Structure 1
Amino acid sequence: MGWLLGAVAAWLIGWQINSRLARRPLSRATAFAGPVIFGLTVILIWECLVRGLDISPVLLPPPSQIIQTFGASLPLLWRDFVQTVVKGALTGYVLGCSAAVLLAVAIDRFPFLKRGLLPVGSFMAALPIIGLAPILVMWFGFDWQSKAAVVVVMVFFPMLVNTVEGLSDTGAMQRDLMRTYAAGYWKTLFKLRLPAAMPFIFNGLKIATTLALIGAIVAEFFGSPTKGMGFRISISVGQLAMDLVWAEIVVAAIAGSAFYGAIALLEKTLTFWHPSQRGRM
């Protein structure tokens, strides 16, 4: 009974603190404190409910057990992180996004390519990953190269569509002004169209961050060496080691949030002039 009362108390305290923060003027401190307090409240309620209702750790381990497993498994988690995130997801992300930007420039330069290549890109985006991953694993092997290939396929189309849309965002008056300066296509591209397309490009990059991590993890379910986050989750589920599964999920959540945050910070630095960035904390 005490654990259930603790859950209610944690909810009330978190609610009161966040209510007071919401009435204060927005600042960096309050913007950061709100999510942190909410997250801590959820963790406390989770811990109290699992303990109070005597839920089996196989169904839902308490956060204290997950933290303990996380600390005890740091070398293992680090090896899995390097294999999945650094080698698989990041490599595929860079290759897929770079190829999409280059193809978008080619489509912009030669408009007839748009009618032929965009439907192909749409077709690739519609391919189910659970059917595509085993094929790419057979083609590229069980190591990280096949996971990077899956990521390339997943991030390519969102990046391509956003970049093509961004390159066509400039107005006729802006393009006419560049022509009056005798600027050719490439100078107009680098001086006007690519800078104007940056918000669209970063939108595609942010979408691709989550797709890259999901693609790399899911692809490891269909063949992997004895390391990797997807491999570890699959094996741990079979062993009913759900605390280790949750530890891997925590690593994936931290990695995904950091990856997205880094791209968002780069966007704010490079596109500070855009109206969408004005007034942001």
Structure 2
Amino acid sequence: MWIALGILAWVAGWALNVWLAGRARSRATALAVPVVFGLTIVIVWEAVVRGFGISPVLLPAPTAIAAEFGQSAGVLWEDFVQTVLKGALSGYVIGCGAALLTAVVVDRFDFLRRGLLPVGNFVAALPIVGTAPILVMWFGFDWQSKAAVVVVMVFFPVLVNAVEGLRDTSVMQRDLMRTYAAGYWTTLLKLRLPAAMPFIFNGLKIASTLALIGAIVAEFFGSPIRGMGFRISTSVGLLALDLVWAEIVVAALAGSAFYGGLALIEKAVTFWHPSQRGQG
């Protein structure tokens, strides 16, 4: 019965998404398609786990994860505050802010661009499993070390995108500003910084996913008795996979909300850019 229910849910979800995709594009249909697709996956997941009798140690059912979510709401909130708000968000703000300020300085002095960006590419290629233990030893086991890991992870992607964006204006545009007797800072604020916004937001969106990943992974190498990474590592050892999946759900929701918020801000700031035209 469960397998039949899963097949029926998949067929119904597929048909509904095909029908929605064929309708005129609007905000309602754009939101409905991923919602229907997600609900279909959850129903099929539940049906497969129950139909084949899969052990909850290997893959718990969505209903079991939801039940654990309700029972452990206090623990999940505490872990969310420790990892997302203290570690990831603070590191993100510090790292991105420092990267944007550094980009202006690098843009002003060309020798810094030639010397710093190759070093940045090298540092960005370093694996987090190598840098995280070092930073944990330097800054301690609380959220400060996780924020430091996030700063290292987000700094150079934002820096590279911001520098490239500041160089995106044409010679004709810069010459036009000079005919208006505009100096460097006026040209930067009125022309080059607005033109760089699509590049900057691209870096900020990339950094938003890196920040959460960095904070969670850093907690595997040392943390107080709270945090999403700490909870995941200890719960795996205790075979409490329903709690592990609950933490994953919280991380996915937080990351999606963060990315979506940045996308909305980007749309409001860069409404003039061709990439934003024609979007609902």
Counterpart of 2:16, as a letter, is I
Q: What is the aligned partner in structure 2 of residue 251 from structure 1?
A: 250
Counterpart of 1:220, as a letter, is E
Runs of 4+ residues deviating >2 angstroms: none
How far is the alpha carbon of 1:182 from its aligned partner?
Answer: 1.2
Looking at structure 1, the residues matched to 13 and 180 of structure 2 have their Cα atoms a distance apart, in angstroms, of 60
Identity of aligned residues (%): 74
Looking at structure 1, the residues matched to 14 and 20 of structure 2 have their Cα atoms a distance apart, in angstroms, of 10
Looking at structure 2, the residues matched to 38 and 191 of structure 1 have their Cα atoms a distance apart, in angstroms, of 43
How far is the alpha carbon of 1:19 from its aligned partner?
Answer: 1.5
Counterpart of 2:229, as a letter, is G
Looking at structure 2, the residues matched to 25 and 190 of structure 1 have their Cα atoms a distance apart, in angstroms, of 39
Deviations along 1:30-54, whole A, 9 cap, x unmatched? 1111110110000000000000100
How far is the alpha carbon of 1:108 from its aligned partner?
Answer: 0.7
Looking at structure 2, the residues matched to 270 and 115 of structure 1 have their Cα atoms a distance apart, in angstroms, of 30
Counterpart of 2:210, as a letter, is L
Matches within 5 A, 1:161-240: 161-240=160-239
Looking at structure 2, the residues matched to 73 and 65 of structure 1 have their Cα atoms a distance apart, in angstroms, of 12
- SS class of match (1:59): coil
Looking at structure 2, the residues matched to 127 and 98 of structure 1 have their Cα atoms a distance apart, in angstroms, of 21
Q: Which runs of 5+ in 1 are unaligned?
A: none
Q: What is the aligned partner in structure 2 of residue 262 from structure 1?
A: 261
How far is the alpha carbon of 1:266 from its aligned partner?
Answer: 0.4
How far is the alpha carbon of 1:120 from its aligned partner?
Answer: 1.4
- SS class of match (1:156): helix
Could you state the TM-score of these two structures normalised by the residue count of structure 2? Answer: 0.99
Answer with 17-26 or 215-224: which moved more: 17-26
Is 1:153 aligned to 2:130, yes or no? no
Could you state the TM-score of these two structures normalised by the residue count of structure 1? Answer: 0.99
How far is the alpha carbon of 1:17 from its aligned partner?
Answer: 1.0
How far is the alpha carbon of 1:173 from its aligned partner?
Answer: 0.7
How far is the alpha carbon of 1:103 from its aligned partner?
Answer: 1.1
How far is the alpha carbon of 1:224 from its aligned partner?
Answer: 0.3
RMSD: 0.7
Matches within 5 A, 1:114-133: 114-133=113-132
